[in-house]
Amino acid sequence: MSDQTPAPPERDIPEAVVEPGRGVSTIWLVPLIAAAVALSLLYKAIESRGESFKIYFETASGVEAGKTTVRYRDVVVGTVEGVRLSHDLTQTVVEARINPSAESVLVEGTRFWVERPRIGPHGISGLTTLVSGAYIALDPGPTTGKPLKHFKGLADPPQNLRDDKGLRLTLTSPHSGRSLNYGAPVLLEGIPVGHITGVELPKKGSGVEVEISIEATHTDRVHENTRFWNASGVDIHAGLSGIDVRTGSIESVLAGGIGMATPGRTGKQAAQGQRFSLFESREAALRHYQESLGLHITVTTKHLGSVADGDPILYRGETVGRVLSHELASDARHILIQLQIDDRYAPLVRNNSVFWNASGATADLGFTGLHLHVSSLESLLEGAIAFATPDPPGPPAKTGALFELAPEGKDKWRKWSPKLPMN
């Protein structure tokens, strides 16, 4: 027998199989996706912040970083991110950011101001900010304006907003702009129909230029023959009939204002940006209108005598016109007197009419005694110029016609009595 123990039977041993690696575990995909989403949100947040810009105010009371909004037509279009003083400590710098949808307003001409409660000549405004707090309002500039990032803030809200549909006019006056304040009313028969949007000195010459805006609902009331005057305060005029005291509305007395009226037939409607004269008083404005009518002629004399501006022009004792002005002729040898004959009486003046100084009284002594000639009580007290037209009358006189002024009238002139149809 053999001492060797028999070997166990051989078995099939499986071979090791090496499988390919599976890579990064799916568990790592979660933070990767989260990071991608975060980056996307961050990009959108940055993109949605819009452009930053700065506004320089003299004072920015009520403006707070992170709270104050920028609005246009009561719609929030931006926010204030910071408020600080300028380096020279003279201005308040408001750093703000505009929404992307409103970035087009950051152009030259856009105006910014702080909207807060105000009491002024144009009334009470900004009361809603008592609840909502102050905010920065804007009036956008033209779409073709140059892009800007720095703006000069206004101290007060502008009255001439760019989307205002009213009629903007310029009034010029050689006098001072006394009591004409920003926002003061423009009055028609004592009712406000517009307001003053600016008072400034002209680029050339003296006086003032006043910018006004007439409300859209009243623009059809302004015509080429409309007259404007300073309605501020109290206007006192003394004459033979006594003292005439005129005032505008209480608002215009306290805050200043402009009166307007359209005398006579209404002319062509006023155009946007048209220029008008601004008169010192209602009386001066209406007198200017009256003086623009009728027949304008000139009489010449070597001595002015008692003739004065405003004296009546008489025909057969009836007032038919007035003396407008007088001046020394260019040769310094004569006085030129400008006369205005009312439209209705213009046909009475012919090329062969004669004019004389009818001021005071004249007397002549004849066979029938002493004759005293007085054209009218008015001419005796204030002075006047009279005229007569012979029969047959000559062709109608035209504006600019020149006549000589006799020192006194003749009896034969007073006897002339041609038949002349009037207008």
pLDDT digits (tens, 9 = 90+) for 197-251: 888 888 777 888 999 999 999 999 999 999 999 987 555 444 444 444 455 444 4
H helix runs in 49-193, sequence order: 129-132
- Least Cα distance to 134 among 190, 184, 69 occurs for 69
Mean pLDDT confidence for 76-93 = 94
Binning the chain into helix, strand and coil, the percentages to the nearest 5 are 15, 40, 45
State the Cα–Cα distance between residues 412 and 141, nearest whole angstrom: 74
State the Cα–Cα distance between residues 88 and 91, nearest whole angstrom: 8
- Asked if residues 326 and 305 have their Cβ atoms less than 8 Å apart, the reply is no
- Asked if residues 166 and 214 have their Cβ atoms less than 8 Å apart, the reply is yes
The confidence score (pLDDT) of residue 226 equals 96
- Asked if residues 88 and 77 have their Cβ atoms less than 8 Å apart, the reply is no
Task: Give the pLDDT band (50/70/90) at residue 13.
Answer: low
**Is the per-residue pLDDT at 30 higher than 60?**
yes
239 DSSP β-pair partners: 242
The distance in angstroms from the start CA to the end CA of the chain is 172
**What tokens appear for 87 in the block?**
């380096």
- Least Cα distance to 108 among 51, 146, 59, 69 occurs for 146
**What tokens appear for 172 in the block?**
């010029």
**Is the per-residue pLDDT at 374 higher than 60?**
no
- List the single range of 122-126, 273-277, 325-329 with lowest mean pLDDT: 122-126
The confidence score (pLDDT) of residue 305 equals 83
Write out the DSSP string of 177-213: -TT--TT-EEEETTEEEEEEEEEE--SSSSSEEEEEE
The confidence score (pLDDT) of residue 298 equals 97
3-state secondary structure of 247: strand
Mean pLDDT confidence for 319-344 = 93
* CB-neighbour burial class of residue 68 (10 A; exposed 0-12, middle 13-18, buried 19+): buried
DSSP 392: S
The confidence score (pLDDT) of residue 109 equals 92
Mean pLDDT confidence for 277-289 = 90
**What tokens appear for 315 in the block?**
């025909």
Q: pLDDT tens digits, residue range 119-152? A: 554 444 555 555 568 899 999 998 889 999 999 9
Q: How far is CA 422 from the centre of its chain?
A: 41
- Asked if residues 232 and 178 have their Cβ atoms less than 8 Å apart, the reply is yes
Mean pLDDT confidence for 282-289 = 89
Q: pLDDT tens digits, residue range 383-413? A: 799 999 999 999 999 999 999 999 999 999 9
**Is the per-residue pLDDT at 381 higher than 50?**
no
- Asked if residues 91 and 58 have their Cβ atoms less than 8 Å apart, the reply is yes
- Backbone phi and psi for residue 169, each to the nearest 5 degrees, phi listed first: -130, 160
Ramachandran area for residue 133 (φ above 0: left; ψ -120 to 50: alpha; else beta): left
345's CB contacts (< 8 A; 6+ apart) are 315, 320, 321, 422, 423
Peptide bond before residue 158 is cis, with ω within 30 degrees of 0: no
